[in-house]
Structure 1
Amino acid sequence: MSSELGSWSPMDPDEVAHLLRRTEVPWWIAGGWAIDLHLGRRTRQHDDIDVLVLRPHLARLREQLAGWDVHAAGPPGTLRPWPVGEELPRGVHDIWCRPTSTADWRLQLMVDDLVDDLVDAGAGGEQEWVYRRDARVRRAWRTLSGPASTAQWAVLAPEVQLLYKSAGPRAKDEADFAQVAEALDSSRRIWLIEALQLTDATHPWIEQLRAVASP
């Protein structure tokens, strides 16, 4: 994929897992790959690869990528270098990564927040991830991993990924929803319906999800 911001040659999940294998902070494969990994099959071409990280962990993850050319997207549609040691503003949620300044982009980091922006290993899962588009939608951050997660990688729960895709869905987002809606178990389907009722009570996916659950 090419754009005015440069060309993409995205990693695949195995390459991401190898790159981040020694990272001591949680991360999740997200985007369209999260949907395909949940389904257990490749459903379409992926022009990039998204990895979700939590803002309090950014500094350590940036250190892990110290040898890479890393840029913050802020404001959206623009890129600027993000050096090791710089704290990013809270409004930055998108980071592009490539091995060198002349290489294709390989990896996109999507940054989400916690309610109190503190990560305590002893918190027992009580701290909450918050949906950046509507702070009423939140859940324990330790529940972000979906059933496709393994010892090799964590995969973002499909209902959370679909919630992000629900905002102004593109053709590929509609395709992803169509592929995975029937594969959601009842608890994930209910969570997504309730989240959509908060963010957009008239969203067409609500009735489609209810129809899947109907006998």
Structure 2
Amino acid sequence: MNPDEVAHLLRGAGVPWWIAGGWAIDLHLGRRTRAHDDIDVLVLRPHLPQLREQLTGWDVHAADPPGTLRPWPVGEELPRGVHDVWCRPTSTADWRLQLMVDDLVDAGAGGEQEWVYRRDARIRRAWRTLSGPASTAQRAVLAPEVQLLYKSAGPRAKDEADFVQVAEVLDSSRRVWLIEALRLTTAQHPWVDQLRVIASP
């Protein structure tokens, strides 16, 4: 499944969603860097009912409890601890789509709700700023600095490779945001020094 197919599948859901994972990295770079077995899509918990309705007819499973998949029928509200939903066209098909479920928190003083990083609630931002420069009218793409933050927790070889490629093309504001977020999550994350070196004249 590719981003255009996801856009077609989720068209009409009426709620925001973002291409995430390795595809988000490739779209930001403007080129295909590696093969992708499936595609990740970031969604917000309040919008799960609409997205589940849009996937009526698909075989959809929730990671509930985490690490264990069980069917998620239309109309059921998922527990707050569920952050991953796996989707495929039929029960015999390969998994094609993974929904990564994130939460919103009140910004206070009547402000718009904010996206909150599920691994560290101190990291948050207006949810409308989650769209990166690779977004189009047909499909939003997760901002590269947010995607790298997710990849920073126990990075695998492919995550390290993604970081190296994307870090060099991040603009200064996105680089600063990522540095600050990494400093909150990990006392001495190696990516912080690498980002600083890239930023040096």
TM-score (norm 1): 0.90
Are 2:158 and 1:178 aligned?
no
Partners of 2:38 and 2:56 in 1: CA distance: 21
Partners of 1:125 and 1:150 in 2: CA distance: 26
Question: Residue 208 of structure 1 corresponds to which residue in structure 2?
Answer: 194
Question: Residue 149 of structure 1 corresponds to which residue in structure 2?
Answer: 135
Gaps of 5+ in 1: 1-10, 118-122
Question: Residue 32 of structure 1 corresponds to which residue in structure 2?
Answer: 22
SS at match of 2:100: strand
TM-aligned CA distance change 1:116 to 1:124, over 3 Å = closer
Question: Residue 73 of structure 2 corresponds to which residue in structure 1?
Answer: 83
Partners of 1:171 and 1:74 in 2: CA distance: 28
Check whether the contact 1:71–1:95 (CA below 8 A) recurs between aligned residues: yes
TM-aligned CA distance change 1:17 to 1:125, over 3 Å = farther
The Cα shift of 1:74 comes to 1.8
The Cα shift of 1:141 comes to 0.3
Question: Residue 190 of structure 1 corresponds to which residue in structure 2?
Answer: 176
The Cα shift of 1:179 comes to 0.8
Question: Residue 112 of structure 1 corresponds to which residue in structure 2?
Answer: 102
TM-aligned CA distance change 1:35 to 1:124, over 3 Å = farther
Deviant stretches of 4+, over 6 Å: none
How do 1:55-74 and structure 2 match up within 5 A? 55-74=45-64
The Cα shift of 1:116 comes to 4.0
Question: Residue 33 of structure 2 corresponds to which residue in structure 1?
Answer: 43
Q: Select the residue among 122, 129, 142 that pairs with 2:115.
A: 129
Residue 39 of structure 1 aligns with an amino acid whose one-letter code is L
The Cα shift of 1:77 comes to 2.1
SS at match of 2:86: strand
Root-mean-square deviation (CA), in Å? 1.5
Gaps of 5+ in 2: none
SS at match of 2:168: helix
* Matched residue count: 200
The Cα shift of 1:100 comes to 1.3
The Cα shift of 1:76 comes to 2.4
Question: Residue 42 of structure 2 corresponds to which residue in structure 1?
Answer: 52
Check whether the contact 2:106–2:112 (CA below 8 A) recurs between aligned residues: no
